[in-house]
A and B are shown apart, each in its own frame.
Chain A
Amino acid sequence: MGTLLELTNVHSYYGHIHALKGVSLHVNEGEIVTLIGSNGAGKSTTLRTISGMIHPKEGKVELAGENISNLDAHRIVTKGVGHVPEGRGIFPKLTVQENLDMGAYTVNDQKTIKDRMELVYQTFPRLKERVAQYGGTLSGGEQQMLAIGRGLMLNPRILMLDEPSMGLAPVLVDLIFDTIKKLNEQGTTILLVEQNALMALSIANRGYVLQTGSIVLTDDAAKLKKNEMVQKTYLGIE
Chain B
Amino acid sequence: MKQIAANPVYKFLLFPVGQIILFALGASVILSLVTVLLAYLFKSNFIDFDLVERIMLILPQVIINGLTIGFVYSTIALGYTMVYGVLEFINFSHSEIFMVGGIVGIQLMAYFEHTGALATMNEYLVIALAIVLALIVSGSLAVIVERTAYKPLRGAPKLVPLISAIGMSFFLQDLVRLILSLTTGEFNVILPKFGTYDEFWKLAVPGMEDPLRIQIKSALIVGIAILMLVILNFLVNGTKVGKAIRAVAQDRPSASLMGINVNQIISITFLIGGALGGAAGVLFALKATKLDPFSGFFPGLKAFTSAVLGGIGNLTGALLGGLVLGLLESFAASYLGIFTNGAFGAEYKDIFAFAILIVVLIFRPSGLLGQTVGQKA
The answer to whether A and B belong to the same complex is yes
| A142 → B minimal CB distance (Å) | 17
Query: Which B residue sits closest to A51, measured CB to CB?
Result: B257
A53 to B260, CA, bound (A): 12
The interface residues of chain B lying within 8 Å CB-to-CB of A98 are: 243
Interface centre among B254, B257, B259 (most CB of A within 10 A): B257
A102 within 8 Å of B (CB atoms): yes
The answer to whether the Cβ of A77 comes within 8 Å of any Cβ in the partner chain is yes
B253 and A85 form a contact (CB under 8 A): yes
Task: Please give, as numbers and ranges, the residues of chain B lying within 8 Å of A51 by CB-CB distance.
Answer: 257
Contact B243 A94, beta carbon cutoff 8 Å: yes
Q: How far is the CB of A132 from chain B (nearest CB, A)?
A: 8
Number of interface residues of A (CB under 8 A): 24
Q: Pick the contact of B250 from A77, A94, A101 — CB < 8 Å?
A: A94
CB contact between A105 and one of B246, B250, B253, B258 (< 8 Å): that residue: B258
What residue in chain B is nearest A108 (Cβ atoms)?
Answer: B240
Interface bits B251-287 vs A (CB < 8 Å: 1, else 0) = 1011111111110000000000000000000000000
Q: Is the CB of B257 within 8 A of A73?
A: yes
B250 touches A74 (CB 8 A): no
A148 to B9, CA, bound (A): 33
A78: contacting residue among B240, B244, B255, B259, CB under 8 A: B259
Contact with B along A74-89 (1 / 0, CB 8 A): 1001100001010001
Secondary structure type dominating chain A contacts:
loop
Do the beta carbons of B256 and A89 come within 8 Å of each other?
no
Contacts across chains A and B counted by CB atoms under 8 Å: 64
Is the beta-carbon distance between A91 and B256 smaller than 8 angstroms? no
Residue of B nearest to A132 (CB): B2
With a cutoff of 8 Å between Cβ atoms, the chain A residues found around residue B262 in the complex are: 74
Known interface pairs A74-B258, A102-B243, A102-B260; 5 further A-B residue pairs with C-beta atoms within 8 A, sorted by A's residue number: A74-B262, A85-B253, A89-B253, A91-B247, A93-B246
Q: What are 28 A-B contacts with C-beta separation under 8 Å?
A: A52-B256, A53-B256, A53-B257, A72-B256, A72-B261, A73-B256, A74-B256, A74-B258, A74-B262, A77-B256, A77-B259, A78-B259, A83-B257, A85-B253, A85-B257, A90-B251, A91-B254, A91-B255, A92-B250, A93-B250, A94-B243, A94-B247, A94-B250, A101-B240, A101-B243, A102-B255, A106-B258, A150-B258
The interface of chain A, by Cβ under 8 A from chain B, is 51-53, 72-74, 77-78, 83, 85, 89-94, 98, 101-103, 105-106, 150, 154
